[in-house]
Amino acid sequence: MRIVLVEQSRVGLKIMSTMLRQRGHEVYEFRDGEEAIKYIEADEFVELVITSFESLTISGLQVCWEARLLAGESRALYVIAMSSTYDGHSLERALDSGADDFIAKPPNDQELHARLRAAERLLAAQRKLIRLANRDPLTDLLNRRAFLEKAAAARDRAIEMKMPLSAIIVDIDHFKRVNDTYGHDVGDDVIRTVAQELNNCSSVVGRLGGEEFGIILEWQTPEEGFEVIDRLRKVIAGLEFDTALEPIRVTVSAGIASGPITESIRTLLKRADLALYSSKQNGRNRVTAFDSIEATIEPGSTDAGTVAA
């Protein structure tokens, strides 16, 4: 596991980190509680926090509380508090501050690792629940709620770092015809395959419902974002699906909207949806940028700049 260890004593820090590393854990050592919290916030792969009641800046109890807030409902994170005073009052304070477990300091090696094995079991269960709550079961993409949350967070990053941001809505063309003609098994296969292709372009990709998908592109200009989604459109148009009747191909239409990022993510997505509607109205199998809603790229065209903002 990736573990953040917070202990004011240099000697105690060294002893515990050695204990943990000998069992194969990846340990990041901190004497300063505030620095530890900053690291936990920045590194989403931290799974376990072990903190003494004492640290150089903030108390271990506050580290527990801050770590629990960072985890929220979307991150599996286990917190263990330690204190040289091992009594009912200390245990109560630790658990009330957001800790999942409490151990005496210095910990016994066998007891510590038994507790870590229990933590691993609970973390696995947490990760499964989080995935069930946030992922679409057919495609394993973000579900609508989780996508909107991730999209809003991406928009906040874009504002803070003054970087470009684009919202894209993608829809499979004539999907009802696929279901009606070839069956829902083929329809599911089409949705899964399209989802896999779309998932390659961004970390924020979700299934919004049915055959409709949402994408948030960070760090890319509107022109670059247009090129990304138009390239994916062409890839998807080249895929072939086996059916009981005959091999088939499908196409997708898309709309893209970029900034200003001071507006809400829902506004950006609404504009992307309007651009998607324009793509559908103008023949499908194309991408339309909201800022040039009357101009679309014909299938096979390489001149993305004619419609990108």
Q: What is the DSSP string of 94-140?
A: HHHTT-SEEEESSPPHHHHHHHHHHHHHHHHHHHHHHHHHHB-TTT-
Element (H, E) at 22: helix 10-22
Q: Alpha-carbon distance 150 to 156, whole Å?
A: 10
* Residue range 271-284, pLDDT digits in tens: 999 999 999 999 99
User: What is the structure's pLDDT at 220?
Assistant: 87
User: What is the structure's pLDDT at 211?
Assistant: 96
Q: Which residue has the tokens 């990041």?
A: 28
- Domain 2-134: state its class: alpha beta
Estimate the crossing angle of helix 60-71 against helix 88-96, to 10 degrees: 30
In angstroms, the Cα distances linking 269 to 40, 239, 297 are 31, 27, 20
For residues 203 and 6, the model is more confident at 6
Helix, strand, or coil (residue 262): coil
User: What is the structure's pLDDT at 203?
Assistant: 86
pLDDT-wise least confident of 17-31, 47-61, 113-127, 226-240: 47-61
- Which residue in 47, 54, 66, 211 is the catalytic one? 211
User: Does 21 have pLDDT greater than 60?
Assistant: yes
Mean pLDDT of the chain: 89
All structural domains of the chain with their residue ranges = 2-134, 144-306
Strands (E), the chain: 2-6, 26-30, 48-52, 78-83, 101-104, 165-172, 204-209, 212-218, 252-258, 287-289
Listed ranges 94-103, 191-200, 260-269; the one with the highest mean pLDDT:
191-200
Q: Alpha-carbon distance 20 to 13, whole Å?
A: 11
* Residue range 286-309, pLDDT digits in tens: 999 998 774 443 444 333 332 332
Helix, strand, or coil (residue 189): helix
Rounded to two decimals, the pTM is: 0.74
In angstroms, the Cα distances linking 194 to 11, 163, 245 are 54, 28, 21
User: Does 259 have pLDDT greater than 80?
Assistant: no
Q: Alpha-carbon distance 143 to 205, whole Å?
A: 9
Q: Alpha-carbon distance 131 to 264, whole Å?
A: 26
Is the distance from CB of 209 to CB of 267 less than 8 angstroms? Answer: no
Verify whether residue 211 is a known catalytic residue: yes
In angstroms, the Cα distances linking 71 to 7, 37, 95, 121, 211 are 21, 11, 16, 17, 32
Is it true that domain 144-306 has CATH number 3.30.70.270? yes
Is the distance from CB of 287 to CB of 255 less than 8 angstroms? Answer: yes
- DSSP-assigned letter for residue 299: T
User: What is the structure's pLDDT at 303?
Assistant: 36
The alpha carbon of 143 is separated from its chain's Cα centroid by a whole number of angstroms, namely 11
Mode of pairing for the β-strands spanning 78-83 and 101-104: parallel
Where b means 16+ CB within 10 Å and e means fewer, 256-292 reads bbbbebeeebeebbbbbbebbbbbeebeebbbbbbbb
* Residue range 135-181, pLDDT digits in tens: 999 999 999 999 999 999 999 989 988 898 999 999 999 999 999 99
Which two structure tokens, joined as six digits, stand for 137?
């079961």
- For 306, residues 6+ apart whose C-beta sits below 8 A from its C-beta are 292, 295, 297
